[in-house]
Structure 1
């Protein structure tokens, strides 16, 4: 399996790029390929979880974001199950534990899903939108001659005009009196009242309104159309003042209402109950005409552009005409309830789908405006990122050129070739390397090498180490004074691919803290440069020629918080550029306490001379890397050795 590891890493890199470009399906294809090639590759399962969240966020259910899919839950799950799904994903996606590309965005989507579904009122409203959106726009009705209007409006209007005439739907065997005949026809047979068996009556305990629903919603929590509050739909006896003539029309009513679909939490309008009182029917016919006139105006405004501003009289007409009484009074003094109108144009007769009301038109236009604004913001964001990338590339090229130019000015060492210690083959996974600062060219930056992608040319996946605090060494705010931090505790930054070999100085010793941060402290035998004129009073206004003066020291023991670290000075060996020897007097040993650890400027690569390098090589002395040694310390003495 090791032979497939490099291919798996390439597939994972491609997956991360596609995830960054928001090609979630393509990204998942490559991460699954990487998992097949090398199942043990780090971060595979985290990437899959991230991609599942993004893919679920693109799914729409009746135009609504699938928040259940983002949590990996089902709409029928209870609150405790939803909570378990959220906790499980939050442990995987939290940015403190998941450093993969896209983890932040996935965690934000997860938090949005939880904030909505954890709130019972918001979840109920979301279920209502999710399950019934599109229902109102898909139902169509036949002509008035073939079936009654879905909301009982046609029945009301028809009864208002035929109340004084002989009923046309009398029972079989009834006799109709011919014109001019004096004989009285026998009375019509009483209508046969048949109760429906597929519906039940219930009552909202909040507003005391009666409703009739199909039995598939029995014992479900429904939303009251009158008071907009949820209630448990338990079977109740029908209201005492229910007209008998209404029962005769139940089978016709079921033809329009028995076909809709939706979740039990939002079954749509209840089955209509029609009041046959002549005064009520006449009033209903008038209301229907007002509503049709208003809908016609709104439709013309919608197709001509944004709806014009309505006058006060229009608003009053809307408040009085946009509601059709289709719910029965409870008989206790409560007036008949009102529900949202199914806005069908009754002037057209055959196969006309319903028209949109003002609120639906406004919702559509607002949604379209939000989509356009979102698209424009993404376009601007893409342009900004493109400019930042171009600026970053230009800056990186300039930095590389400046570093190459400065590298050309570094003198050769006397004996040891330090460049051989930082060749492509020197880099391995999970190493920390120091990199040169752009201030005075000394190696004060650190990079954690996650993965060596290639060696010729060098391409590594790394994270730069950074820190926002200096509390490990007391209250002195060294970073706030404008200086770089070269030791202490560092956080791991974002991943990036890097390929500039000349940026690195040497591999440094480090260890990982329990919190996942990187710790770098002076170790026994290391060589460090100390600020010669260091003071706690330094700030941004201190001149560079005061700051950039150094003394070379060798660390005698590892750093401890109680004692700090003991160091001894290194003395320049006469006749050589980069050779130093340790000071032999114990009186010259200096203790650097914890509160003064920022005296250390940077670590310097060293080489212990054995005497076999050349005939004049001083045995036991240290040769320091000229690329990390200040230029004022690299002075050629009058008697420079010949081998140099």
Structure 2
């Protein structure tokens, strides 16, 4: 009965979308399909129907003198080669033909595709079309979403308080601070003279910095690399300026093409999904772009090949809220994804990725954002190096460091409205709110969680204080090149508000394998340990979690082994004959410990896999409904990498998260892991 109800709702959504198309409300049809796709992820022919809507929306953009924009119709960038045009044409035709008889507007979309291909596949017609397109496209485009967006921004950017912000000879600046691409732009004179106006400008249309100043014609020069808008009007492409035509504000550029490295990245690119992070090679073909296609400067210097673009500390980026690996096989699903805005907390590292913090809109302002708090803690997230495709694009931003603007405090950010996605998720600041749901930690204690409807769970890494440390405790601390909690310390006392006096535990090898492991300077996290002789002071940020271990009262030895209910990382394809070099590119598997360790029987584990679309949520791996377990002997304890602090999600309001899933501490997740 429930299945029939779901099917009827899907059919109704398709019928409503078809009616919208027949009434030429193409945008309305697209919205209906996107909403249906959120409720029914397996909606039949969703990608095909969305493509029809996209093409019909593009058909409404008429260029004076040349009609339809053929590149928009075929969903291509103007610099593409002929072979790509041919491939895209056949791809679109084969995609839409199955719904030709069932979905209204498909015939019309196929006709537009044929007409566009007729122009672009003929070198003479294409050259003539491009000449007209360059001349008229960005000067007469009132129907495009980019033009509408730009027009709105222009109207709000002309308030009096913006005068003099980009003076050639800047005065003493006290309102904004420049830091790694987040710039400052307000003088003391402006602050005083405009304080009254600033106070009255608060509201949805409030604008403090005119972002057109970062792309003024005089800022362009040959050899620079700029970020340019793609077909979806987001700054995702990178262009090297070869020459400039200042009178028409045109740039002859060479675009950069992604150079995917991993198998997943290759699948992502093959599916035609946009790429904003990674390595790039420069295209030999030159193309001409209007100055209005440029978003912001990436590099002022001539770069060595290949170009590398990764999020950097203090930058602001948009990430896909509903990111999923299934997009590689169903690229249309990406179009229904919403976005979140994040600030980068750490520079990208190949083995670790980046740490980010969520940003939320400040009440009363359209484009002013601040860091999101959950019960007083910033909502941070560790994005692994292998998931850089989660990043949609970078967003130019300006940081406030003080001043007299009502409602604005130090650290808030104003974002470039042209780079802020329309379908942002409104994250709630839950500092003062509580929830009746409970989460259960691996040690049996409970706590109140945040709402687990987010596809990304915030980093709950606690901020330790002196009262958290007691003499005699054993803690796991972050150590090694990948900063995983593989070292153990015995606590003596808190030295200050941020340092603790400790002694590192040393391994006491027993078996021949353990002796070889120690001689090869490989980390051991399971076995017998003893306290060293040297005391050191460690910063509290180095501490991961308290270790549940057994201490012998006779010889002061510590027995540390995985315990039932804990979550650990294990080396994939581990071998007792490993050398230190084997750990460099080693991947890890996440496992749940099913039984306590004993010398005679060892212990049992089961594999955990990621909840689709989530980074820190894991659940048990099943095969035909059966739990896959593995027994490990005492000689295989060297195969453990480290323990991962975790708690189970007892109650969820998201049907996509399996009951009993584990939330793992992002700071302890191995950067390279098997799923």
- Scaled by the length of structure 1, the TM-score of the pair is 0.33
Query: Which structure features the higher share of strand residues?
Result: 2
Higher RCO (C-alpha 8 Å, min separation 6): 2
Query: Which structure features the higher share of helix residues?
Result: 1
